Amino acid sequence: MNIENKTSNLVLAAVFVAIIIILAFTPLGYIPLGFMNATTIHVPVIIGAIVLGPKYGGFLGMVFGLTSLWKSTYMPNLTSFVFSPFIKVGEYGGNFWSLVICMVPRILIGIVAYYVFRAVLKACSGKKAKRTIALAAAGVAGSLTNTLLVMNLIYFFFGKEYGQAAKGLTEGIYSVILGIICINGIPEAIVAGILTVAVSQALFKVMRR
């Protein structure tokens, strides 16, 4: 990679970082679907990974994780302890695993999205709409990576505490987790797939790729 390309990639990465921060701290990061709000903060991570590569994707995911850590620490709700080791909400406090939940799934969003994009692009070789299919698959995969890992890690490391804090439950906690994955995670993945296709195609035209 020459110096000009490296500089342009750094500038583009900085733009994605700014978008992630804006989405994280404003209502722009949430799309109302009537029955829920779909989070869109992970979409710049997915698109950034596709355009710039998995290393940048991992970095952008880390930025997303850091915004989540900051909000959970300084703007906490009843279950923020699962994302921040620095706070205690009522009788429940975060620990090292809070940091893992907050950071690892977010870092993996872009990495998974990039490799899914490349794999589907290769598998669809010869098809006219292969890039559209690959982009949609990457958007869905990146979004589900975040949802599935976050919710399952919460269950494994904070199941009882999360169930009690969120719903006042001591049993049937994984049913709640599955409900969140289905009701929130699936629509978010669909939205991520649509936005990834629309924004990435426009960005590729501007970058002439």
Structural domains of the chain, count: 1
Residue 118 clears pLDDT 50, i.e. is over it: yes
The domain containing residue 200 runs over which residues? 3-207
Sequence letter at residue 164: Q
Nearest to 114 by CA among 181, 192, 155, 56: 56
pLDDT-based confidence at residue 17 (cuts at 50, 70, 90): very high
Beta strand spans in 33-170 (E): 37-39, 88-89, 92-93
By mean pLDDT, which of 31-40, 53-62, 136-145, 194-203 is the weakest?
31-40
Sequence letter at residue 155: Y
Angstrom distance (rounded) from CA 154 to CA 132: 33
pLDDT-based confidence at residue 3 (cuts at 50, 70, 90): low
Angstrom distance (rounded) from CA 53 to CA 51: 6
Residue for token pair 């709700």:
77
Domain holding 179: CATH number? 1.10.1760.20
**Token pair of 120 as six digits:** 């589907």
